[in-house]
Chains A and B, each alone.
Chain A
Amino acid sequence: MARVVLNQVTKSFANQQVVKGINLLIPDGSFTVLVGPSGCGKSTTLRMIAGLESATGGEILIGDQTVNQLPPGKRDVAMVFQNYALYPTMNVYDNIAYGLRNRGTSKKECQVLVEEIAEIVGLTQYLKRKPSQLSGGQRQRVALARAMVKKPKVFLMDEPLSNLDAKLRNQMRVELTSLHKQLGSTFIYVTHDQVEAMTMGDQIVVMSEGNIMQVAAPLELYQEPDNLFVAQFIGSPAMNIVKDEENSAVVWGFRPEKAQLLAESAAPASSIEQRVLRGTVISREILGAESLCHVETEKGRIVVKVDTEISIQMGTHVQVIVDAANIYEFDRATGKRIGKGVGRVGQHALAGGMV
């Protein structure tokens, strides 16, 4: 168990800088998720912590020790790979025991530890099988067991669930979260899937083009994005962004689930401050209980999440109404959020009062 600290860490391949001097504190025992689109440097960052890539510049600490010069096997970390990376010629037992043997653990102790871990992940009856005789989910468990058995200070996971089908992925997500609670170790988890990030992480690091865009807890990330990138990356569908007609240096945005659709003729009967966009419904996607309405407005295309029960005809002229409390403003040039910390554009009242 240990915290991980990155100080001004950079990584260049040939002439290209893929990680651009990031500073990050990953607290001891946290479940930190690095998330971002492909090519943002999240995997490279994880591989530098693992020691599989050397940092071009900066300092990496695990616990209180600088590990830049330590080989992967000496860092006391374990990693779970996307394609599991099991040793195909060894059976499950040997796969799990390999790391222990290399550290000089005695045969007897090995057996005790492997059997204990196999019990936890439910692999006891598969110990004699080769990886090729296991299902995807079982292979994933072997990969986890192989990491757990070493009792590392830090668990590193590189998109470990993306090779599983949707159902199994949901199940493993829950298992990983409870595993983290059980072990209490530091988890660093890389994914490009924001849903995975939001549901599993207690600290989320959003990355883009080799930079950290924001580090925050899931709720804060959703409610108080630091910048345009985070605002659009977190939340599905993405935040609507509209140019401001009065101030060309500013763009403003709102989440599709925080807007209302009204008929063109209806007058917005509300005393609180609102913004209104006029447009035409051009398409509709039904997700289940909710639908996404795509509205072509004078300021561009906008998505609004509405109740599926509401019937809306294509081509209807509508008004999109957004409470000022749900509006975020950003600097157009830098993408930085304007007025963070002093609340959003309007004061946010707790709907329905205190519960």
Chain B
Amino acid sequence: MLQVGRTAWKTVEWVLLAAVGLVFVFPFLWMFLTAFKTMPEVYQFPPTWWPESWQFENFRIAWSSGPFVTYVMNSILVAGGILILQFLIAVPAAYAFARYRFPGRNLLFGLSLIALMIPSQVIFLPVYVEMSHWGLVNTLWSLILPFGASAFGIFLLRQAFMQVPDEVIEAARLDSASEWKIMWTIMVPMAKPVLVTFGLFSFIYHWNDYFWPLIMTNSDSVRTLPIGISMLKAAEGGKQWNVIMAGNMILVLPILVVFFFAQRHIISAFVYQSK
């Protein structure tokens, strides 16, 4: 009896997970299939599941409909630049918050938590004004600098650094390591799963970001991929969903690749607490 009950429960569990999984996977699948269809097939009713013939042409059309090489380069520079800047700032900040006692520590940490709670849409106007004062609007700097300090990164890293046993740091001090050296050669390697996870979140967020590049840029030379893709919609008369989806495929491909390789670290970052 018990055995049967357990099997039934497993089946229910499996069906539920599959249903939830489908909700998330379906849009991706539909994007993938649409990217290979012809335009008439996209508008056909009832819709077909499988493309009648695989149209790789869509990718060529999407790629050549704008300066996509520039978009990709800009996206890499922006997402990568933000990532590097965030690490350079978050690592020392998190180390200080986690390991030092100094006056105003809690206040400063509280302030950075507040920053975590305010969405960029709320502060984009003053930031835009600031950027325009510095003459940085419509440059890649205006896309990178406002995100250089990540409250989320500082928070996440602080938690990871707090879990490093005191003795390890003390041993390093006895081994004549400077604080700077302890930070980069002891703490950072120990927080690797968290760093990878944070890096991934940050990279995906800024790679996909549509809002900020939209308001900060007005020429193709500094636009990023998401803006470029949305231009596909405007460029053609009737919406060529197949071409737009091909563009989207180009957009998400790097992220899927990165995710594939970083999956192990992401999982270990989230089970880190209970270890």
Q: What residues make up the interface of A, taking CB atoms closer than 8 Å to B?
A: 50-52, 71-74, 77-79, 81-83, 85-90, 98-99, 102-103, 146, 150
- Complex-state Cα separation, A298 to B211, whole angstroms: 88
Name the residue on B nearest A47 (C-beta): B170
Contacts of A150 in B (CB 8 A): 175
Segment 140-189 of B: residues with Cβ below 8 Å from A: 165, 167-168, 170-178, 181, 185-186, 189
Contact present for B171 and A81 (CB under 8 Å):
yes
Evaluate whether A98 and B170 lie within 8 angstroms (CB atoms) in the complex, with A88-B190, A89-B189, A89-B190 already known: no
Contact present for B177 and A85 (CB under 8 Å):
no
Contact present for B172 and A98 (CB under 8 Å):
yes
- The smallest C-beta distance from B124 to any residue of chain A, in angstroms, reads 40
Contact present for B165 and A99 (CB under 8 Å):
no
Contact present for B190 and A81 (CB under 8 Å):
no
- The smallest C-beta distance from B166 to any residue of chain A, in angstroms, reads 9
Contacts of B190 in A (CB 8 A): 88-89
Evaluate whether A73 and B181 lie within 8 angstroms (CB atoms) in the complex, with A85-B167, A87-B168, A89-B189 already known: no
**Shortest beta-carbon contacts, A-B, top 7:** A73-B176, A99-B175, A85-B167, A89-B189, A85-B171, A102-B176, A81-B167
Q: Which residue in A51, A79, A89, A103 is a CB contact (below 8 Å) of B171?
A: A79
Segment 107-165 of B: residues with Cβ below 8 Å from A: 165
- Complex-state Cα separation, A82 to B167, whole angstroms: 9
- Complex-state Cα separation, A229 to B172, whole angstroms: 37
Tell which of A50, A81, A90 has the most Cβ of chain B within 10 Å: A81
Contact present for B171 and A71 (CB under 8 Å):
no
- The smallest C-beta distance from B30 to any residue of chain A, in angstroms, reads 43
Q: Check if B192 is an interface residue, CB within 8 A of chain A.
A: yes
**Interface residue SS majority, chain A:** loop
Question: What per-residue 1/0 map shows which CB atoms of B76-91 lie under 8 Å from chain A?
Answer: 0000000000000000
Contact present for B173 and A83 (CB under 8 Å):
no
Contact present for B170 and A52 (CB under 8 Å):
yes
- Complex-state Cα separation, A73 to B174, whole angstroms: 4
- Complex-state Cα separation, A87 to B184, whole angstroms: 13
Apart from A82-B167, A85-B167, A102-B181: 16 A-B pairs, beta carbons within 8 A: A52-B174, A72-B174, A73-B177, A77-B174, A83-B167, A85-B170, A85-B171, A87-B171, A88-B190, A90-B189, A99-B174, A102-B175, A102-B176, A102-B177, A102-B178, A146-B175
Contact present for B192 and A79 (CB under 8 Å):
no
Contact present for A89 and B192 (CB under 8 Å):
yes
- Complex-state Cα separation, A324 to B120, whole angstroms: 86
Contacts of B177 in A (CB 8 A): 73, 98, 102
Name the residue on B nearest A84 (C-beta): B167
Q: Which residue in A52, A74, A83, A87 is a CB contact (below 8 Å) of B186?
A: A87
Evaluate whether A71 and B173 lie within 8 angstroms (CB atoms) in the complex, with A89-B189, A102-B181 already known: yes
Contacts of A72 in B (CB 8 A): 170, 173-174
Evaluate whether A81 and B175 lie within 8 angstroms (CB atoms) in the complex, with A88-B190, A89-B189 already known: no
Name the residue on B nearest A143 (C-beta): B171
Q: Which residue in A83, A89, A98 is a CB contact (below 8 Å) of B175?
A: A98
- Complex-state Cα separation, A331 to B186, whole angstroms: 54
Contacts of B175 in A (CB 8 A): 73, 98-99, 102, 146, 150
Contact present for A78 and B174 (CB under 8 Å):
yes
Contacts of A78 in B (CB 8 A): 174
Tell which of B175, B185, B190 has the most Cβ of chain A within 10 Å: B175
- Complex-state Cα separation, A50 to B190, whole angstroms: 24
- Complex-state Cα separation, A89 to B193, whole angstroms: 12
- Complex-state Cα separation, A103 to B167, whole angstroms: 20
Contacts of A71 in B (CB 8 A): 173
Q: Which residue in B165, B176, B178, B192 is a CB contact (below 8 Å) of A85?
A: B165
Contacts of A73 in B (CB 8 A): 173-177
Name the residue on A nearest B190 (C-beta): A89
Contact present for B172 and A50 (CB under 8 Å):
no
- The smallest C-beta distance from A252 to any residue of chain B, in angstroms, reads 44
Contact present for A83 and B174 (CB under 8 Å):
no
Contacts of B167 in A (CB 8 A): 81-83, 85
Contacts of B186 in A (CB 8 A): 87, 89
- Complex-state Cα separation, A72 to B171, whole angstroms: 9
Evaluate whether A79 and B174 lie within 8 angstroms (CB atoms) in the complex, with A85-B167, A85-B168, A88-B190 already known: yes
- The smallest C-beta distance from A161 to any residue of chain B, in angstroms, reads 16
Contact present for B172 and A87 (CB under 8 Å):
yes
- Complex-state Cα separation, A85 to B171, whole angstroms: 7
- The smallest C-beta distance from B174 to any residue of chain A, in angstroms, reads 5
- The smallest C-beta distance from A104 to any residue of chain B, in angstroms, reads 9
